[in-house]
Structure 1
Amino acid sequence: MAAAGLAGGVSPAGVVLAGVVAAAAVLAGLMVVIAGTRDVSILGGSVGRRVFWALLVMGGGTVGWALGSLVDAAEPWLTNDPLVTSLLGGVPFALAAALFVRGWWVSVTAVGLIVAMLVATVVVLRREPPDDLEARLAANNVQRETSYAVAVPGYQPNAGRDYGNGLGGASFFPMHPDPEPPARYVTITVSDRLAPGEQLCGQPTAQDSQLASGDCTIEPNGLVYRHNPPLHGYQVPFARFFVTVAGTPTVGQDLLRAAALSLRPASADEMGGDREDAGLFVAATIPGYTGRMTEAPPGMRYDPVDRTDSGGDTGFTMEVTYADGNDICLAATECKPEGADLTYVRLRMLGPSNPETHGYVVRRGRVNVSVTGALRVDRTLLRQAALDARPATDDELRRALPPPRRQYSRIDRLRERLRERLRSF
């Protein structure tokens, strides 16, 4: 009742006053009891001893009642009936009074019952609370069927889905990552207008050019080489457009010059189909590089055919989705089955800053387990991780998923502290 009052917003002064009134009422009732039973009590011989008896019984009974309240909060099945609750609430006071009854067998029986109640209290408080896994899953918007775990030597899971002992269910990062190599790519962008008043080495600059400033050199063939760290390259006219061919520092100047001299309209295959804005996409022939269309900005991006050194971290991600309606080859540039339920996929997203990824998808009943990473991540590692992935256990899910937020009363907090102390023994 006190816990309910505190939770309901009763002021501390009101709680103290109620406690004082209740204690006085209990003490008065006990004085009436000892007055009527003083002949059978070892403390009934005088008024002073009877007051002492009442104080002892009230103190001992209150301690027993408090322990009973903690047990009741942990296992409420005992006290669904208000009458039963009232009767059981008086048991601790009766046992405390029995300790002072004449006759050793009564006192010994009371001591035995008190010990039994203390043992029962410890057992109940040491027990884990009722299974809250379903509540954790719901609170974190997680499906049990799509919760998988895997451990990969040399990798550690992120904190978002860390199941412990190296097991994880989302992103993984190397424990000792290698330095990421510098990016290596070429971009070709098109503009239909010039930036007013801007030029390098006498050459007007295209609007929104990546090479709008920096150093420049006029080459014997008439091309203007532009160096605007961290990019360098050329701007050349093409039909009615101004085309900028730019590369990262790891791309050679000779390769960029050759690309600028080999410009041609992008084909439908290079653009992923016929487009109304096809004129904004210009392609080039760059040996050892493969091109793909980009949307922001519109243009083409060329990456090395062997892109294992072209950027992207060495981490990987595991994702589990329901298989129905999930076409694993839809966004793949390569989709190659390697068994009845195992498929290698290679994916690339639109946009120059999105690295190409690859990995494996394995079918597990109603779900697909996908393990993918940048091209720098070893293909064999990704394959083994996909094959080793398994459903997460209940204990692993409890470790990874925080419990739902709830309001704790003072009794709740006391019970949890007692549980922690008792479980440590």
Structure 2
Amino acid sequence: MQRRHALVVGQLTGVWLLGSAGLPSAVGVVLVAAFARSTAGLVVGGAVVAGTFLLVLWLIVKATAPASVLGGTTGRQVWWVLLVLGFGVALWGFGWALTDEAGLGVSRNGALTLLCSGIPFALVAGVLLRGWPIRLTAAGTLVALVAAGLVALARSAPALPPVAALPDDPPYVVSIPGYRPTDPSFGGVVGTRTFTPTDPAAIPQLRWITVVAYARQYAVTDPGPCGETAYDSSLRIAECTAEPDGWVYRRGVVEHGYQITSGQTLVVVAGPHVVDRQVLRAAAATVHPASPAELTALSFEEQQGIFFASSPGYILRKQGIPPGVRLEPSDPAASPQSVVIDVFSDLSEDTCGAATCTSEPGGLLYRRTEDTHGYVIARGHANVYAMGGLRVDKALLRQAALDARPATEDELRRSLPPPPPLSKNAMSRLRDWLRG
């Protein structure tokens, strides 16, 4: 009896030592071969590891054959070796993944790794020992450990995704009465960079008049008052109304205007609906082929087929696609940008640049350009700007510059994009299943 007990202890100890010391070493060998990117090294390393395990297990079962129900013959001993190795490795891998996913920290502790790595092999060998009491004890221990691991997994919290790094120099944010930031990620009311009025009616509508010429050879003839129409015109699909003097007014979904015939050219004068119909008609009445001096003034350089027009309160700009000209309001206060506020900071020592600047009490610098004005104030090593269009109240910009402050940590974290979701592995899906 004492000899049998000694064989049992010897077999379980040998198997446990093989799993505790041999398996982590074997994993290290395989990883080194994998990182070396050597297929031959990986194959050879894997073969050496598998061969070593099979040999050691064979020696263990040969030396302790009477202790196992599979130790009587060579064939049964081979089955013992395969069962202990196969189930031992499978249970070891399952336990490693489960404890990692449950956050138990076994794999991060060297002593626990050495202690626990051999347990699956010893328990599988225990199930194959002679005598039902010890076999049931090993099986019960195995079931209890797996159940405890599953409970720990079900109660564990999923791993948090990586947190994006916060900037060393946070942006300056502010809340401006009557305005909202176009980027609401800092909290909706508080923001940085571009601010627009909360009342859409306070934003001037965009106005322009385009003058574009088209070859008549590509025109189409529509029924009714539209008649001959430039095929690629913005007014190609429009409702047409004949006016008493023979002009044809065209109203599309987005734009409206007139078409003028000049020799073999059709010239379309159009603008958004906010531009008055009579303004477009008056501009169309001034359409004429651009002179060499006019072409040079807008840098058209030898480009042919360009027509110009004029309208009070508008200035000409070059338009690239389609080639032509664009009349825009000459008053900067008439554009939507005239009511926009921009709050930002920089490290430049030249805060004035090409602008006109005036120092004011409290360390403020009033800064004005052709179409913007606002304030600059030094905050440590940074200069904070609150610049706005010409229709923005000067006092409002002054207060925005004074109120601007570095974003808090909570505001920064709120503004960062959400981290990418973690990919689901087998253990995380098992946790979800356990939780129902």
TM-score (norm 2): 0.47
Higher-helix-fraction structure: 2
TM-score (norm 1): 0.48
